[in-house]
Chain A
């Protein structure tokens, strides 16, 4: 079945998603929301990877290398979120805030 979708469609959605994440990182003050926006940017990159691997058809099969890379990215992102949230909790314990405007020194 011939589809009207082109690589452009997916790349532009991915670009917009990345831009939204970037805007969130720049605008928001809450460190947890900033962290969520980082995950959003990571997901936008994932969409680009899958789109390129799907459009790189070789002998009737898409290239699966992109999917393997994505598997690793998702694993590393899960580890990163766990460690990042632990750091945020430790930070909240010592400072009682999640506002990045108030978290401006490393020492107490």
Chain B
């Protein structure tokens, strides 16, 4: 269990590093798919089966296909051949190192993270699965946000069509 966690965490982080380091955007996109697969495995390890499947279907599937489609459509020149500017590189190293230090300091000092993975009871029957529980919450407590999200998706679709029209006045 712990062994699998480290494998998938490493997969996630190396995929993330690949996105940043690769010069070719297509390679970046494929590294990102790798990273999302590792992340989905981490979700499944946290007993979030529906979320893990959604991560693969929506992120690694739909969103990354969209990215690859746009990258190939725009036909971007092979890479940014210039080196990264020293100032930008230095500034980002400072920002990232201080952020990581902050996160680790907060996590270790607060003691909230020391909690062991608590056992959850075996699921009794089909009504107890996480899909069932999430569905019940979505269509009872959170029915209004679901409606809002439906409108948001419609607005996004219309917006994309309007933006993609060639004669944008």
Evaluate contact between A10 and B42: CB separation under 8 angstroms.
yes
Given known A-B contacts A74-B54, A98-B74, A7 and B32 have beta carbons under 8 A apart: no
Which of B19, B66, B95 interacts with A85 by CB under 8 Å?
Answer: B66
> Given the complex, which residues of B lie within 8 Å of A35, measured CB to CB?
67
Given known A-B contacts A5-B1, A39-B59, A89 and B100 have beta carbons under 8 A apart: no
Interface size on B, residues (CB 8 A): 83
Which of B17, B35, B48, B121 interacts with A54 by CB under 8 Å?
Answer: B48
Could you tell me the dominant secondary structure of chain A's interface residues?
A: helix
Evaluate contact between A20 and B113: CB separation under 8 angstroms.
no
Given known A-B contacts A22-B95, A32-B67, A3 and B103 have beta carbons under 8 A apart: no
Q: How far in angstroms is the closest Cβ of chain B from A22? A: 6
Evaluate contact between A32 and B149: CB separation under 8 angstroms.
no
Evaluate contact between A62 and B19: CB separation under 8 angstroms.
no
Encoded as 1 (CB less than 8 Å from any A CB) or 0, chain B from 31 to 69 comes to 010011001001100111011001100110011001100
Q: How far in angstroms is the closest Cβ of chain B from A23? A: 5
Evaluate contact between B16 and A27: CB separation under 8 angstroms.
no
> Given the complex, which residues of B lie within 8 Å of A23, measured CB to CB?
20, 92-93, 95-96
Evaluate contact between A40 and B114: CB separation under 8 angstroms.
no
21 contacts between A and B (CB under 8 A): A1-B1, A13-B13, A13-B42, A22-B96, A26-B88, A26-B92, A26-B96, A32-B25, A32-B74, A33-B19, A54-B46, A67-B48, A68-B137, A72-B145, A72-B149, A78-B153, A79-B155, A82-B157, A83-B159, A85-B67, A89-B74
